[in-house]
Structure formats: C-alpha cells, structure tokens
Amino acid sequence: MSTKPDDTTIAAWIGLSRAQRVATAGIEARLKAAGFPPLAWYDALWELERAGGEGLRPFELERALLFEQYNLSRLIDRLEKAGLVVRRACPNDKRGQVLAITPEGLKLRCEMWGVYAPAIEAAVGAKLDAEEAKVLAGLLAKLAITSA
C-alpha cells in the first residue's frame, strides 16, 4: 500500500473539501439571513424527528449527525433552553438521558427546511444534472463507508 496519494487523488480531496465548505457556507448564510439558527440545529432536530417518540440518547444523536458537533452537550443545552428538545430519563439506564423533539422543535425544523431545501438545490441541483447527481451520490457513499 502506498503511503502517498497520487495527484488525481489529491485533486479529488481538494475538490471534495472545497465543495463541502462552499456549499455549507452558502446554506449557513441563507439560514442566517432568514433569521434561523445554524445548520447544526436543523441537523439535530431532523435526527430527533426521525427517531420518533422514543428519542435518542446523546451518543446516538452524535453518531447520526451529518455535521461534526464537537460540543454536543452545549448544542443540546441551547436546544433545550429554546424549548425545541426535552430530556427524559432513559428507561433502560436511569443514569442516562433520552432526547426528544418538541412540537416547537418540529415547527422550527419544518420552517428551516423552507430555506434549507432551496439552498441545497442552489448548491447541488442547479449545478449537476440528475445523472451527475446520481453518480456523485454513489461516489460519496463509497467514500463514507468506514471500517469497523
């Protein structure tokens, strides 16, 4: 196994990193301009909505998030303070907690989607045709596979 990537692999890495940074910055700017909180809030609320009434343990939420969240406990505190999530005792582990989205959190998540969806379209859909998007999705899925 080579320890150094070839020029094509380096170019792919640079392109991937730049594209992610540009797309995320554009989405964050649109959310901010619309008066919404950061994308990390949407991401957390979406995962909690998907979990349903059972909610998620904090470590499960961290695993599910699309974006790195190095300070998940602060994010959860902010979401709870805003009335968007609730913490409950974990039924299987009384020392643990379960997080669940509130009706207010669901409402905010839906409102944010009204800005987020067109931002995704502008960042990706407007630049790639359907076949290109399908190929890119497949390639990125391949890169996202981690070894256990």
Number of folded domains that form the chain: 1
SS3 54: helix
Q: Give residue 85's domain range.
A: 15-141
Q: What's 67's domain CATH number? A: 1.10.10.10
> Does 76 fall in a domain?
yes
Specify burial of residue 95 (Cβ count, 10 A radius: 0-12, 13-18, 19+): exposed
pTM of the model: 0.86
> Does 9 fall in a domain?
no
pLDDT in tens, 66-120: 766 678 889 999 999 999 999 998 888 778 899 999 999 999 999 999 999 999 9
CB 95, CB 138: distance < 8 Å: no
